Amino acid sequence: MSHPTDGNCIFCKIVAGQIPCFKLFEDDATIAFMDINPVNPGHALAVAKGHWPTVDVIPADVLAAVARTAQQVAKAVISELKPNGVNLLQANGEGAGQSVPHLHIHVMPRRPNDQVALNWDYKPGNKAEIETIWKRLKAVL
């Protein structure tokens, strides 16, 4: 299967076998490997083989394949490492903390007091503002 590639992308180089990785799983559309900068032991990545930077440009079927691979890896992490929880994180763009512009899902085992900062404080939103944004989004969906 042919995939779009970017010769400067570290994940494309891993997919092509030019950079080694601790590979967990591979199929036609995806690859999963250990994150070498883990937030906790067992932190892994489910990655599209093709070079699509973000969720808005990846084909839906490839995104679904990445999600299936992330689920498979998460099940292995849960059964084998028995964390208190698992975060699946998929960031899009620098503002969201995406460090490699190639679509991937982090599978992050969580432990009590692990100091991983992903949560936010809940505060009520402005209902009128929520409704205005809702109308705009609903109109384009």
Task: State the DSSP code for 97.
Answer: T
Tokens of 15: 């997919």
Catalytic residue among 43, 51, 102, 104: 104
Known catalytic residue at 51: no
Looking up tokens 């892994």, which residue turns up?
44
Three-state SS for 23-59 is: EEEECCCEEEEECCCCCCCCCEEEEECCCCCCCCCCC
Catalytic residues: 104
